[in-house]
Amino acid sequence: MPVSPRRADTRRNRERILVAASESLKRTGVVSYNAIAKRAEVGVGTVYRHFPAPEDLILAVYDREVQHLVEVVPSLLARHSPEEAFRTWVVGHLAHYMMTKRGLSAALRAGDLPKYTSMLDALDALRQANVDAGTIRPDLTTETLMRSLGGLFFLTEDRWQAEAEALVDLVWRGVHDSR
Amino acid sequence: MPVSPRRADTRRNRERILVAASESLKRTGVVSYNAIAKRAEVGVGTVYRHFPAPEDLILAVYDREVQHLVEVVPSLLARHSPEEAFRTWVVGHLAHYMMTKRGLSAALRAGDLPKYTSMLDALDALRQANVDAGTIRPDLTTETLMRSLGGLFFLTEDRWQAEAEALVDLVWRGVHDSR
Amino acid sequence: MPVSPRRADTRRNRERILVAASESLKRTGVVSYNAIAKRAEVGVGTVYRHFPAPEDLILAVYDREVQHLVEVVPSLLARHSPEEAFRTWVVGHLAHYMMTKRGLSAALRAGDLPKYTSMLDALDALRQANVDAGTIRPDLTTETLMRSLGGLFFLTEDRWQAEAEALVDLVWRGVHDSR
Amino acid sequence: MPVSPRRADTRRNRERILVAASESLKRTGVVSYNAIAKRAEVGVGTVYRHFPAPEDLILAVYDREVQHLVEVVPSLLARHSPEEAFRTWVVGHLAHYMMTKRGLSAALRAGDLPKYTSMLDALDALRQANVDAGTIRPDLTTETLMRSLGGLFFLTEDRWQAEAEALVDLVWRGVHDSR
DNA sequence: GATGAATGAGGATTCATTCAT
DNA sequence: CATGAATGAATCCTCATTCAT
């Protein structure tokens, strides 16, 4: 890389690295510091400076990617019934996310799912709205609900939509308050 | 015509390799031909002869490990009600299996879940028994059912039993035939 | 005219760097500008400003560490006979120094021993006192004497004292003026 | 590297690696697996196979290089008086060896000198011959004697011969049996 | 003067894969 | 069939060094 302003775009670098890492993860399910550095057009050392451990990098990517999932919730709740909001979120957003982020899931060494707090927060908001509306049983951990959706990681490339709908149907019956 | 000693050796080798690979997978979630060869006290070439591609090896390990899961089903169905058989299988056998085989799941690059045909067969037997008994809705793919249990991969080390039970409760409500 | 705070900071920095470098050297036998900067809580650039080349840094550390070795000589000569002063200095001070500064010796790429002028000065003072007292032969380079003690770098961790004494006995016989 | 007989020259490889390592050590005082592999025209992996740890490599080089030092002793004792044999060995062989093997000494983390058993054996043969001849005191460890020669590592490039002679003079007086 | 971000060369180490024996 | 030596690409990571602020 030839001469170029350095200090100026430290933040820019962070972003470039995250983008590169995200694509690597999507594509290969694996993060190689060297590969990321190359793709981000940055020295390896820079990647290390920003993200000393692979975990740091993966979690940063996760946070960045999951952002949208979290942000979309309020608008869904505003425009749909609680049930519709839940179904739409799962099928229209979460499913697609998990489909394409399989790499992420593997990289994050399964079992850390509960740590995905922002995603859990999003799901919890939907759950609560439904509990308030009397459409989801009040006894039910958000974690359990999340886990019932864990199968979304194993969707098929070409039929994912139908599969996600089938799963959400099953889950909805499982959580629906039928009093 | 006696079995040639050659052949005996060969079979023994295959077994040793599978054992070694299985432990590697359990421990590190990764399989290295070289490491497996060393652990199995076999030349690398031998591993290649038996399992030309990594996938072959992983699937063979999987088959070997899943065997028990499949074999236990008939006895469960014989000794329990269909519902009990299902719950017991999931919590008592499948959950533990998925808990400890996370490495396997990662290695098998998610999305291959449907290929786990023998496991699907086992689950299907349980499903069918419940459909016959009128306890599970007849409309319901085995795949969908399997997917609803996908969260078992994300069980917590120390509370896995309670978590598995919570999940199976949710799922049971979701699949139960309440006509 | 008060000392400018700038200047005070600068001196402080130099000292912090030397302390950090000294510990690095003692521990790992290696000096990394980056590591030293971090340990000294100083920017890398600052280390470079003070010590442009690694050699500068190492020699500065050496000088700092060897100080005590030099300073102790007069008092030894004042309180002991020349022979005793020599033996005590070698066994009680030099040996311990070389024991613990092996890192330094390696870093200073052997062959630079003659450059250790302040140490040579110290040794020379002892030699001269003995020559004056007629206890050491007058023909004898300080360098040669120093070299005869070079084995102190190879003392054993747990028996160093006995070993140093055995060496100094040998050397004393070798330099003693037995006319 | 193009096609070439493999298995055939495993031993040849070992030799090439040792030669390369020896030169690296001589030149830079450092052993880099990569550099050695390149110089030996061998894959890095091959170097690792032959010498799993750097220590293994260094010791092998040492053994190889020290061979001559050991082998020459009998002939020296046959052709010279014990005293002459000792002096010749030290000045004519050991000094030159230590001069050029400084890298080795640093690499072998000082303090391991006593491990150089074959060199100690050589020195011991010379010592014993002198003891038998009544020219060296019988009380005197070979280790101590070795240590008194430790300064040979710090010889000057251009005056090494004179320096070595001065040292051996000093040492000889120190060990000579003057009864 | 001080700081610390960025760079990238370089050294360690592992592994898939081939192939002579 | 089995063995295991050899290869070298690929990863990891650390550092020396520069230079914008």
Q: Cα–Cα distance between C34 and C25 in angstroms, integer?
A: 14
Q: Are residues A29 and A111 in the same domain?
A: no
> Could you tell me what percent of chain D has a pLDDT over 90?
55
Contact yes or no for D114/D120 (Cβ under 8 A): yes
- Residue A109: its chain B contacts at CB < 8 A? 29, 102, 106
Residue A167, chain B, CB below 8 Å: the answer is: yes
Per-residue pLDDT, averaged over B24-45, amounts to 86
Residue B149, chain A, CB below 8 Å: the answer is: yes
What are the percentages of helix, strand and coil residues in chain D, rounded to 5? 75, 0, 25
Flag residues of chain A having pLDDT under 50: 1-4, 110-111, 113-114
pLDDT digits (tens, 9 = 90+) for C84-114: 999 999 999 999 888 777 666 665 554 454 4
The radius of gyration of chain B from alpha carbons, rounded to an integer in Å, stands at: 19
For D105, the closest chain C residue by CA position comes to: C106
- Residue A172: its chain B contacts at CB < 8 A? 174
- β-pair partners for A176: A136
For C160, the closest chain D residue by CA position comes to: D111
Residue C143, chain D, CB below 8 Å: the answer is: yes
Least confident of A167-171, B151-155, D109-113, D172-176: D109-113
Q: Are residues A35 and A81 in the same domain?
A: no
Considering CB atoms only, which of D144, D167, D172 is closest to C144?
D167
Q: Cα–Cα distance between D94 and D166 in angstroms, integer?
A: 14
Domain count of chain A? 2
Per-residue pLDDT, averaged over C118-127, amounts to 92
Residue D130, chain C, CB below 8 Å: the answer is: no
Q: Are residues C91 and C141 in the same domain?
A: yes
Average pLDDT, chain D: 86
Residue type, D122: A
Q: What is the pLDDT of residue C97?
A: 85
Name the nearest CA neighbour of B108 among B61, B168, B43, B154.
Answer: B61
Q: Is the CB of C10 under 7 A from strand E?
A: yes
Q: Do A144 and B113 touch (CB under 8 A)?
A: no
Q: Which residue has the tokens 């060393």?
A: B38
Q: Which of residues 50-79 of D touch C (CB under 8 A)?
A: none
Per-residue pLDDT, averaged over B44-60, amounts to 89
Per-residue pLDDT, averaged over D50-57, amounts to 89
Q: What is the pLDDT of residue D102?
A: 66
Name the nearest CA neighbour of B128 among B175, B162, B95, B173.
Answer: B175
pLDDT at D8 over 70: no
CA distances (Å), origin B179, targets B135, B138, C116, D94, D98: 9, 12, 96, 98, 94
Chains B and A touch (3+ CB pairs under 8 A): yes
Residue type, C25: L
Least confident of A76-80, D20-24, D146-150: D20-24
- Residue B149: its chain A contacts at CB < 8 A? 151
Residue ending a domain, choose from A28, A52, A76: A52
Q: Are residues A93 and A40 in the same domain?
A: no
Considering CB atoms only, which of B105, B147, B166 is closest to A151?
B147
Q: Are residues D81 and D152 in the same domain?
A: yes
The gap between A3 CA and F19 C1' (Å) is: 10
Residues 3-42, chain B: which have Cβ under 7 A from strand E? Answer: 30-35
End-to-end CA, chain D: 67
Residue type, B86: F
Q: Do D156 and C109 touch (CB under 8 A)?
A: no
The angle at the Cα of C160, spanning C159 to C163, to the nearest 5 degrees, equals 90
Residue type, D25: L
Min distance C82 CA to chain D CA atoms (Å): 19
Q: What is the pLDDT of residue A1?
A: 42
Considering CB atoms only, which of D105, D141, D157 is closest to C166?
D141
Q: Cα–Cα distance between C103 and C30 in angstroms, integer?
A: 7
- Residue D144: its chain C contacts at CB < 8 A? 163, 166-167, 170
- Residue A166: its chain B contacts at CB < 8 A? 141, 144, 147
**Higher pLDDT residue, D64 or C100?**
D64
The gap between B27 CA and E17 C1' (Å) is: 24
Q: Are residues B105 and B27 in the same domain?
A: no
**Higher pLDDT residue, D10 or B164?**
B164
At A2, give phi and psi (nearest 5°): -75, 180
Top mean pLDDT of C35-39, C119-123, C157-161, D81-85 is at D81-85
> Could you tell me what percent of chain A has a pLDDT over 70?
87
* CATH code, domain carrying D18: 1.10.10.60
Q: Are residues D106 and D136 in the same domain?
A: yes
Enclosing H/E stretch for D37? helix D33-40
Residue A175, token pair as written in the block: 């959580």
Chain F bases under 7 Å from protein CB? Answer: 1-21
Q: Are residues D77 and D27 in the same domain?
A: no
pLDDT digits (tens, 9 = 90+) for C1-40: 344 445 677 888 899 999 999 888 877 777 789 999 999 9
Q: Is the CB of A38 under 7 A from strand E?
A: no
Determine the protein residue whose CA lies at the shortest distance from the C1' of E14: D45
Residues 24-43, chain C: which have Cβ under 7 A from strand E? Answer: 34, 37, 42-43
Q: What is the pLDDT of residue B10?
A: 82
pLDDT digits (tens, 9 = 90+) for D66-104: 888 999 999 999 999 999 999 999 999 999 888 877 666
Per-residue pLDDT, averaged over C158-178, amounts to 93
pLDDT at B110 over 50: no
Residue C98, chain D, CB below 8 Å: the answer is: no
DSSP-assigned states of every residue in chain D? --S---GGGHHHHHHHHHHHHHHHHHHHS---HHHHHHHHTS-HHHHHHH-SSHHHHHHHHHHHHHHHHHHHHHHHHHHS-HHHHHHHIIIIIIHHHHHHTHHHHHHTTTT-GGG-HHHHHHHHHHHHHHHHTTSB-SS--HHHHHHHTGGGGG--TTTHHHHHHHHHHHHHHHHB---
Q: What is the pLDDT of residue B156?
A: 83
Residue C152, chain D, CB below 8 Å: the answer is: yes
Q: Cα–Cα distance between C176 and B22 in angstroms, integer?
A: 73
Residue ending a domain, choose from D52, D68, D86: D52
Q: Cα–Cα distance between A101 and C97 in angstroms, integer?
A: 59
Structural domain containing residue A39: 1-52
Q: Do C171 and D170 touch (CB under 8 A)?
A: yes
At C136, give phi and psi (nearest 5°): -130, 140
Q: Are residues B47 and B61 in the same domain?
A: no
Residue B146, chain A, CB below 8 Å: the answer is: yes
Q: What is the pLDDT of residue C115?
A: 58
Least confident of A36-50, B32-46, C23-37, C46-60: C23-37
Q: Are residues C43 and C75 in the same domain?
A: no
Average pLDDT, chain B: 85
- Residue A157: its chain B contacts at CB < 8 A? 111
Q: Is the CB of D1 under 7 A from strand E?
A: no
Residue A110, token pair as written in the block: 């399964």
Considering CB atoms only, which of D106, D150, D173 is closest to C174?
D173
The gap between B11 CA and F2 C1' (Å) is: 13
Q: What is the pLDDT of residue B5?
A: 46
Residue A174, token pair as written in the block: 């499982």
The residues, any chain, with a CB within 8 Å of residue B54's CB and separated by 6 or more, are B31, B33
* B176 three-state secondary structure: strand
Q: What is the pLDDT of residue B1?
A: 38
* CATH code, domain carrying B169: 1.10.357.10
Q: Are residues C149 and C101 in the same domain?
A: yes
Residues 28-57, chain D: which have Cβ under 7 A from strand E? Answer: 31-35, 44-45, 48, 54
Q: Are residues A47 and A77 in the same domain?
A: no
Q: What is the pLDDT of residue A62?
A: 82
Task: For residue A90, count other CB atoms closer than 10 A to its CB.
Answer: 22
Min distance A27 CA to chain B CA atoms (Å): 12
